[in-house]
Amino acid sequence: MNSVSFTRLSEAFLRETGVKPGARTADLQDVASAAIDPMRTTVLVADSDHFVRAGIRVFLQDAGFSVCAEARDADEAIALATARRPDVCLLDGELAGGSVVATREITRRLPHAAVVVMGRAVDRDGVLDVLRAGAQGYLFKDLNGPALSQALRGAAAGEAVIPRRLVTTILGALDEDDASHATLADGRDVQLTSRERDVARLLQKQMSTAEMAAALGIAAVTVRRHVSSLLRKLGTSDRAVAARLLSL
């Protein structure tokens, strides 16, 4: 699924409905409203490009969803979500006015609605911002059609929809959220995550990477990542020096 295919779908949709390119959002809303089936999962689509919106609508309706509203910016997404009360709000990560703003306000007004944001690339801070604002999921725009349908149905059922390639990023962020200050033997203060503290204690016991992995129940590659982060914060590449600096 890509922008080119969405454009082709959009052109077909516009020909069938008689709505001309560049039409006002209100014109598109009239067409969308007529197609709503109360037995289907309802979706609000928010994207600044009207061709992309129309293309996504054609795809979703063919997949068994009802697109109850379309929005071109954050303000419109918030207003239409409040009025139409969709099951799922599918927002462009680069939505005019801010996908974070739209996500936060929609989830505040409609706790039952699942907000799912779609982005083009891995933007760590962007992903975390929308999730912290209340989004139930974050998807990439290169997702194929069946996977998108499955993800939206899952979101409507209350499931979190997160690609596997984002799991490590999110888990790392959770560790950072749990970070606290630690005082080193030389008097410096550093901020360590809870997992880094676990690794620090095991470093003081002179455990190997494999031993730490077994003790913590995590993969060796994950231990190495935490050790590298810890050493960087301590300003050394030597585990023995790090062990002497730590006084946790």
Domains (range + CATH), the chain: 3-163 (3.40.50.2300), 178-245 (1.10.10.10)
Quote the pTM value: 0.59
What's residue 128's pLDDT? Answer: 80
Of 67 and 22, more confident: 67
Q: Tokens at residue 154, please? A: 């899952």
Find the angle CA(141)-CA(145)-CA(149) to the nearest 5 degrees. 100
Give helix 99-109 / helix 74-84 axis angle, nearest 10°.
20
Say what percent of the chain tops pLDDT 90: 42
Q: Tokens at residue 217, please? A: 């129940």
Residue type at 93 in one-letter notation? G
Of 163 and 29, more confident: 163
How many CB atoms neighbour CB 40 within 10 A? 17
pLDDT tens per residue across span 128-162: 888 888 999 999 888 888 899 999 999 999 998 98
Residue 97 has pLDDT above 70, yes or no: yes
Residue type at 226 in one-letter notation? H
Q: Are 74 and 95 in contact (CB under 8 A)?
A: yes
Mean pLDDT of the chain: 81
